[in-house]
């Protein structure tokens, strides 16, 4: 299979007849903003509205253009090339191309930033995987799908699903002949509060069937149901260029503090493969696998320990021939391999604007401990209804927090605000050397 495009060959990826294992980073918090990664509460659309109210739409657009252009530039690619990365996952928001007020009407300027990066991909021989991270209606109830209401309406309204099909066709028409686009990651972390694999599977098949009419060259990644975890309700594809993606964050799937290194490796391996979901892809669907997201938090403390857990996680992937992408390359001191200095203008702005908001505490309060539901005497509800109510409460809390931006932004001249994105320039960032060393273990061997 000698092709300049990356292709699926059984359980492997091939390019120009040679096997390739994707080893790289996600470029998160760039074309799709996440509150904990930018250091400001609120969904992307809420943050955009706050800036527009404070400075007007023209100046707000100027700010975001400056942000895009500072966030990732050629210096970042030089660094990625030096450490041996061969792939990046470019996450984007559907609003980059389409407005809810004018559905099915597409903005060609949405391609500008991706095109700029793809030229750098070609120059530095790094493949890009395009990831639809936020879909109309919300493919999950979380902040990272730019969901401001905590409702995964995407699965309830066929028009939202049709919009994604047409949007991908529009994007594929633009990139169908670009060999430095390795694949399309069709939808990030689908979830309707609980596993609903048959509904997700039906949508994926419809999307693949329509999209393949436009693009004959590229791989389509299918992410598992319930945040990229469940596959056994998925049915096979006749399309030969389909692969599967899952997400695995070791801190979510186990406590490894008291485990010696060998037992820890075994426990991580069991957390990934033990429930049979990944084996179903390998043995029944017989397609290659890519872990589209894994990573650790800068803010959890004891960084050396967490680095060792991530190192073991990547070692498990490598043992099983699974491609991987670390989340994320750069952000505002949350998970990023690169991050602005603590005393940078952006971080000072973030601390001032976010006040006492801490994502980890909010996440624990609303989505993990059920503290709020206990106080409301609602823990008798079925789990799916508890989960649904949790997300609604979380979304309402974000809305309230966003109302505080007016006072903060009124004190910042727009000329000063426009300098803040410079904190994300490569030369202004600190590096997380522990993660860099893990990556180089496998890209420089």
Compute the mean pLDDT over every residue in the chain, rounded to the nearest whole number.
Answer: 94
Per-residue pLDDT band for 111 (boundaries 50, 70, 90) equals very high
Cα distance between residue 89 and residue 345, in whole Å: 27
Q: Give the pair of three-digit tokens for residue 250.
A: 């070791």
Task: List pLDDT tens digits, range 126-151.
Answer: 999 999 999 999 999 999 999 999 99
What is the distance between the alpha carbons of residues 376 and 227, in angstroms, rounded to a whole number? Answer: 28
Confidence of residue 347 (pLDDT cuts 50, 70, 90): very high
Q: For residue 261, give both structure tokens.
A: 């290194």
Give the pLDDT of residue 258: 62
Task: Report residue 300's pLDDT band, with 50, 70 and 90 as the boundaries.
Answer: confident
Whether residue 166 has pLDDT greater than 80: yes
Instruction: Give per-residue pLDDT as tens, 33-42.
Output: 999 999 999 9
- Whether residue 108 is predicted with pLDDT greater than 70 in this model: the reply is yes
Q: Which of 166-170, 192-196, 358-362, 430-434 has the lowest mean pLDDT?
A: 192-196
Q: Count of residues for the chain?
A: 445
pLDDT: which is higher, 1 or 184: 184
Asked whether residue 243 is domain-assigned, the answer is yes
Confidence class for position 3, pLDDT limits 50, 70, 90: confident
In a domain, 408, yes or no: yes
The CB-side HSE value for 99 (13 A sphere, CA atoms) comes to: 6
12 located within any domain: yes
Cis status, amide bond into 203, omega within 30 of 0:
no
Lateral strand order in the sheet of 7-9? 7-9, 12-15, 18-19
8 Å CB contact between 242 and 220: yes
CA distances from 376 to 47, 144, 370, 395 (A): 30, 27, 10, 17
Residues 254, 250: Cα–Cα separation, whole Å: 6
Joined tokens for residue 111: 């391609």
Which residue reads 């890209």 in tokens? 443
65 or 283, higher pLDDT: 65
Task: State the distance between the two ends of the chain, measured CA to CA, in whole angstroms.
Answer: 26
At residue 257, does pLDDT exceed 70? no
Alpha-carbon distance of 107 to 89, in angstroms, equals 22
pLDDT at 117 over 90: yes
Residue range 175-207, pLDDT digits in tens? 999 999 999 999 999 998 888 899 999 999 999
Count of structural domains, the chain: 1
Residue 345 has pLDDT above 90, yes or no: yes
Residues above pLDDT 90, as percent of the chain:
83
> What's the CA angle centered on 235, arms 233 and 241, to 5 degrees?
130
Burial (CB < 10 A; 0-12, 13-18, 19+), residue 13, is buried
Task: Work out the average pLDDT over 229-244.
Answer: 96
**Does some domain include residue 373?**
no
Q: Is residue 362 part of a domain?
A: no
Return the HEC string of the chain.
Answer: CCCCCCEEECCEEEECCEECCCEEEEEEEEECCCHHHHCCCCCHHHHHHHHHHHHCHHHHHHHHHHHHHHHCCHHHHHHHHHCCCCEEEEEEEHHHCEECCEEEEECHHHHHHHHHHHHHHHHHCCEEEEEEEECCCCCCCCHHHCCCCCCCHHHCCHHHHHHHHHHHHHHHHHHCCCCCEEEEECCCCCCECECCHHHHHHHHHHHHHHHCCCCCCCEEEEECHHHHCECCCCCCCCCCCEEEEEECCCCCCCCCCCCCHHHHHHHHHHHHHCCCHHHHHHHHHCCCEEEEEECCCHHHCCHHHHHHHHHHHHHHHHHCCCEEEECCCECCCCCCCEEECCCCHHHHHHHHHHCCCCHHHHHHHHHHCCHHHHHCCCCCCCHHHHHHHHHHHHHHHHHHHHCCHHHHHCCCCHHHHCCHHHHHCHHHEEECHHHHHHHHHHHCC
Give 408's pLDDT tier (boundaries 50, 70, 90). very high
Q: Which residues are the active-site residues?
A: 189, 293
Residue 190 belongs to domain with CATH number: 3.20.20.80
- Rounded to 5°, the CA angle 116-429-59 comes to 55
In a domain, 379, yes or no: no
Structural domain containing residue 291? 7-355+404-443
Tell me: pLDDT of 1 over 80: no
- The C-alpha atoms of residue 48 and residue 37 are separated, in whole angstroms, by 15
The first and second tokens of residue 242, run together, are 């389909």
pLDDT-derived band of residue 288, with 50, 70 and 90 as boundaries? Answer: very high
Averaged pLDDT for residues 234-259: 88
Task: Please report whether residue 391 resides in a domain.
Answer: no
- Mean pLDDT of the region 327-352: 97
Which candidate, 42, 63, 60, places its Cα nearest to that of 51?
Answer: 60
Average pLDDT over residues 220-247: 97
Q: 367 pLDDT exceeds 90?
A: no
pLDDT at 384 (0 to 100): 84
Tokens linked to 179: 């060999």
Nearest to 71 by CA among 437, 426, 394: 426
Which pLDDT score, from 0 to 100, does residue 15 have?
97
431, part of any domain: yes
Q: What confidence tier does 270 reach under pLDDT thresholds 50, 70, 90?
A: very high
Quick one: which of 270, 86, 370 has its CA closest to 279?
Answer: 270
Q: Would you state the structure tokens that stand for residue 283, as one six-digit string?
A: 């043995």
């Amino acid at each position: 299979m000698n092709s300049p495009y990356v292709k699926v060959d059984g359980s492997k990826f091939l390019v120009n007849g040679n096997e390739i294992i994707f080893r790289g980073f996600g470029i998160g918090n760039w074309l799709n903003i996440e509150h904990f990664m930018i250091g400001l509460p609120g969904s992307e659309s809420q943050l955009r509205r706050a800036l527009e109210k404070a400075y007007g739409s023209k100046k707000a657009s100027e700010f975001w253009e400056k942000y895009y252009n500072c966030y990732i530039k050629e210096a970042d690619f030089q660094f990625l090339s030096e450490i041996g990365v061969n792939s990046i996952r470019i996450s984007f928001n559907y609003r980059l191309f389409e407005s809810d007020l004018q559905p099915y009407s597409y903005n060609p300027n949405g391609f500008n930033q991706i095109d700029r990066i793809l030229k750098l991909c070609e120059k530095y021989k790094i493949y890009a995987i395009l990831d639809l991270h936020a879909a109309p209606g919300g493919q999950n109830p979380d902040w990272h799908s730019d969901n401001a209401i905590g409702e995964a309406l995407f699965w309830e309204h066929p028009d939202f699903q049709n919009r994604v099909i047409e949007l991908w066709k529009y994007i594929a028409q633009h990139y169908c002949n670009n060999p430095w686009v390795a694949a399309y990651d069709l939808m990030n972390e689908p979830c309707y509060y609980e596993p609903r694999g048959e509904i997700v599977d039906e949508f994926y098949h419809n999307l693949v069937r329509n999209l393949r009419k436009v693009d004959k060259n590229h791989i389509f990644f299918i992410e598992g149901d319930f945040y990229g975890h469940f596959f056994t309700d998925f049915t096979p594809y006749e399309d030969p260029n389909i692969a599967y993606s899952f997400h695995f964050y070791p801190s979510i799937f186990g406590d490894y503090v008291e485990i010696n290194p060998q037992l820890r490796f075994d426990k991580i391996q069991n957390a990934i493969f033990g429930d049979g979901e990944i084996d179903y892809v390998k043995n029944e669907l017989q397609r290659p696998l890519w872990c589209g997201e894994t990573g650790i938090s800068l803010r959890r403390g004891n960084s050396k320990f967490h680095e060792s857990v991530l190192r073991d996680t990547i070692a498990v992937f490598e043992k099983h021939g699974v491609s991987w992408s670390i989340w994320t390359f750069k952000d505002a001191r949350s998970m990023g391999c690169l991050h602005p200095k603590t005393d940078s203008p952006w971080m000072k702005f973030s601390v001032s604007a976010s006040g006492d908001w801490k994502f980890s505490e909010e996440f624990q309060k609303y989505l993990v401990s059920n503290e709020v539901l206990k106080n409301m005497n609602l823990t008798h509800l079925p789990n799916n209804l508890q989960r649904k109510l949790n997300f609604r409460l979380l979304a309402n809390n974000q809305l309230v927090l966003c109302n505080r931006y007016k006072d903060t932004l009124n004190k910042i001249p727009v000329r000063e605000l426009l300098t803040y994105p410079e904190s994300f320039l490569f030369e202004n960032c600190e590096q997380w050397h522990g993660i860099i060393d893990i990556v180089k273990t496998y890209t420089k061997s």
